[in-house]
């Protein structure tokens, strides 16, 4: 099961799959109107990219989200955890690190994460 989430043909990291839950309507809609829609899927930003840890994280977070929907225990507001902040930042830098030049990754020095200023590029606040 864990490794199946990293097989692109399954589409488990695509907006169609993530948007199949009504709780994600707003996020999927804003993503579909963003510049990232043509170059990145949900998993490209929200999942780690290492084969084993990425698969494990995607399987865990996917199972957790399905459980929350089935048990009607999903939070009213989606908040980032320390781990998800780290994953998002690593994925921003994976694609955009060359644009940072001398600034580098400020999150390592107690500075802001990329998404503190650039969240609305993909998802509205």
- Domain 2-121 sits in which CATH superfamily? Di-heme elbow motif domain (1.10.3820.10)
Which residues, in sequence order, are CB contacts of 118 under 8 Å at separation 6+? 92
pLDDT grade, residue 71 (50/70/90)? very high
Determine which helix (DSSP H) or strand (DSSP E) holds 118, and give its type and residue range.
helix 114-118
33-45 residue pLDDT tens: 998 999 999 989 9
pLDDT digits (tens, 9 = 90+) for 72-123: 998 888 888 999 998 998 999 899 888 776 666 666 667 788 888 887 778 8
> Sorting pLDDT into bands at 50, 70 and 90, what band is 66?
confident
| Dist CA 67 CA 23 (whole Å) | 13
pLDDT at 67: 92
Which whole number is the average pLDDT over 1-11?
A: 54
Report the C-alpha gap between 18 and 44 in whole angstroms: 13
**Band (1; pLDDT cuts 50, 70, 90):** very low
Domain boundaries, given as residue ranges, for the chain: 2-121
Whole-number pLDDT of residue 2: 47
């Amino acid at each position: 099961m864990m490794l199946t989430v990293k097989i692109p043909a399954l589409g488990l990291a695509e907006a169609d799959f993530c948007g199949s839950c009504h709780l994600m309507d707003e996020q999927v809609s804003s993503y579909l109107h963003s510049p990232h829609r043509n170059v990145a899927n949900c998993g490209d930003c929200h999942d780690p990219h290492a084969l084993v840890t990425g698969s494990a994280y995607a399987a865990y977070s996917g199972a957790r989200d399905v459980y929350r929907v089935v048990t009607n225990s999903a939070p009213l507001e989606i908040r980032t955890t320390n781990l998800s902040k780290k994953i998002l930042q690593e994925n921003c830098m994976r694609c955009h690190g060359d644009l940072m030049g001398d600034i580098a990754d400020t999150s390592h020095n107690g500075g802001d994460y990329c998404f503190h200023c650039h969240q609305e590029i993909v998802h509205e606040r």
